[in-house]
Amino acid sequence: QRILQNTEVGAMISAFGCGIGKDNFDITKLRYHKIIVMADADVDGSHIRTLLLTFFYRHMPELIENNYVYIARPPLYRVTRKKSKRYIHSEKEMDDYLLKLGTSDISISLAGHTETLKDEEIDVLIKVIHEVEIFISSLERKGIPFREFIGLKDQEGRLPQFQIKMGDEEKLVYSEEEFVDLKKEHEDIQREQHERTLAAIPEEERTEEMLKFTPKGLSFVELYEADVFHKLKEKLADFDFSIDSYLIADGKLFDIIKEESETPVYTLKEGIELLRANGRKGIEVQRFKGLGEMNADQLWETTMDPSKRTLVQVTIPDDIAADHMFTMLMGEEVPPRRAFIEQHALSVKNLDI
């Protein structure tokens, strides 16, 4: 009833013509076999799109099962360069474009090397630096400063993989083996406590329930950042860089060479920002706040014209997994949603803030 009281949803259901609900829905009465969800390209538009897809999945699943639902991809940016224009659909695509432009007319010479990097080597280096950038941004969003994070390294340069709680004590654990050993130690302590408690009870008073020993699990948080950190560290080692050098200067890393000029770079952060700045030269960027900001010609050219538009068909290859995901992310239970976000925060590729 609450759904049907919404004016916009009611109008949409009327337009479809197939009704809603188990007793009233009839797919054969559907007026349209191509239902296109078109929302702004920013994070607000993404939220609206998710709400609509949730509505279709929960109350009109036959629309998706029959492949009638599509998502339009309106642009987020228009870039004008040398009298040509290009529409860009996401922040990631925009960043990739700037870095591609920024590396198109330069070469890079690593400190202590006479030869410059090949184009494909530059592409690999920039990709790794960008991954480090995303990693550090993820840390900072969780309230963990990068310098503080790398300060947790042990003598072997490892970062903690687990944070465990044993009573009132918190401990950082640096390997799977150490975690398993502590888990066993935790169970042994509980077993000893159980045996002491049992020994204080006369045998004739002991019940079957008292004789059972069920260890309580070790309270812990897996620190996924450690694995990401070590993978990035290995990738940067191919260029003789440390991951610390993203922010911490310890001598020149490389030179960016453009025409007759050479710009020394002392941190990886400085390097990628210089390349983005180089990519911005000679281009004009317009960010669309919403579809309503476009004029009619732009809207037709980018989103409405059937010969040019980009549509993504909505499918459900795994109904059980989809149901679990919708329930977790759009349901009323907060803990599973929080746990999912914490686990996957570092794998985010496209974040619009």
Can you give the pLDDT at residue 103?
Answer: 95
Architecture of the domain delimited by 7-75+288-316: 3-Layer(aba) Sandwich (3.40)
Residue-wise pLDDT for 269-293, tens only, equals: 999 999 999 999 999 998 887 787 7
Alpha helices in 142-170 (DSSP H): 146-150
CATH 3.40.50.670 segments of the chain: 7-75+288-316
- Alpha-carbon distance of 128 to 134, in angstroms, equals 10
pLDDT for 257 beyond 90: yes
pLDDT tens sequence across 128-157: 999 999 999 888 876 778 888 888 888 887
The pTM of the whole model exceeds 0.85? no
List alpha helices for the chain, DSSP H.
Answer: 7-16, 43-59, 61-65, 91-102, 119-141, 146-150, 176-199, 208-211, 225-237, 268-280, 296-299, 319-330, 334-344
Residue 262 near residue 56 (C-beta atoms within 8 A): no
CATH 3.30.300.370 positions along the chain are: 78-159+223-286
Non-local CB neighbours of 267 within 8 Å, separated by 6+ positions: 245, 246, 247, 248, 249, 253
Q: Going by CATH, does the domain composed of 78-159+223-286 fall within 2.60.320.10?
A: no
Share of the chain above pLDDT 90, in %: 35
